[in-house]
Amino acid sequence: MERFTEMRIFIAVAEAEGFAAGARKLNISPPVATRAIAELEARLGVKLLNRTTRYVRVTEAGQRYLDDVRRIMASVAEADEAAIGTNGSPRGQLVVTASVLFGRMYVMPVIVEYLQKYPEVDVSALFIDRVLNMLEEGVDVAVRIGELCDSTYKALKVGCVRKVLCASPEYLAKYKIPQSPYQLAHHQIIVATNLGPKIEWRFMDSDRQEIAVRVKPRLTVTSNDAAIEAAVAGLGITRLLSYQIAPELVSGKLKIVLSEFEHAPLPVHIVHREGRLASTKIRAFIDLMVKQLREPLP
């Protein structure tokens, strides 16, 4: 069986964790998928998949091989698109990831415009408040907030956002505006996190020296939306990124406090897989994303 076909079948079966499910993705029969994997393992002389009646999982060697063949297939697709030329119309599947609120507010409008402009592309949007492994999750483009670790990906800085403290005018009128981070000990705190009961918030003093303040939350939630809702309702002070509360700041439902103690703004990057030539579909999406983020973020 042709080697690239074996690779495609292996990727499908490994990702679907099943021969039948992987075969369906490629519109082939399960016996064809089973035979292809058996021939691949025989040729390589190594077991790539552990099989039981309930599941299929990659072995340690299989995971390394999966990472390698994903890169190979991506390079093949890249070469195809390079041959088509820069004027070729974007086509295929594009996978994009961002945090939940940023994705909803800034990335989703770009995706809608992109799909309307390029009818031969399908998009999978993964909006989740954790950093995904782009290779393992098959992500083409990621919007990341914060400093980036060293990686083999290309990154384009498109803006900055601030990490801010905020509360409703009603709450601040009742409990007074804190003048120092240390005064937060006397305020009701709302925290959007899944960490433990003791939270440490870091600030910069007037000499630009970092100070750490431990706060005890009155309310802990696992979503930024919930923290915003609680703060607007007057429950207390919360800490979020500036873009997340932009509508509430404009409407006057929330006000920023202790701005003079903020850290430097966090950079926003568009990250994509590095290659000799970014694919047409990726370049077209990044161009629209840069246009969307050209204006300064709140």
Instruction: Please count the other Cβ atoms lying within 10 Å of the Cβ belonging to residue 5.
Output: 14
pLDDT of 116 reads 96
pLDDT of 82 reads 60
Topology (CATH) of 3-83 = Arc Repressor Mutant, subunit A (1.10.10)
pLDDT of 135 reads 76
The full set of domain ranges for the chain reads 3-83, 88-157+267-292, 163-261
pLDDT of 218 reads 94
> Is it true that domain 88-157+267-292 has CATH number 3.40.190.10?
yes
CA 164 to chain centre: 21
pLDDT of 155 reads 87
pLDDT of 87 reads 55
What are the 10-residue block averages of pLDDT along the chain, 298 residues in total? 83 90 89 90 91 86 89 74 64 91 94 95 92 82 86 83 96 96 95 70 89 92 93 97 94 96 92 68 91 79
Topology (CATH) of 163-261 = D-Maltodextrin-Binding Protein; domain 2 (3.40.190)
pLDDT of 2 reads 80
Q: Are the C-beta atoms of 243 and 297 separated by less than 8 Å?
A: yes
Euclidean distance between CA atoms 292 and 270, whole angstroms: 12
pLDDT of 132 reads 83
- Domain 3-83 and domain 163-261, same fold? Reply is no
pLDDT of 102 reads 93
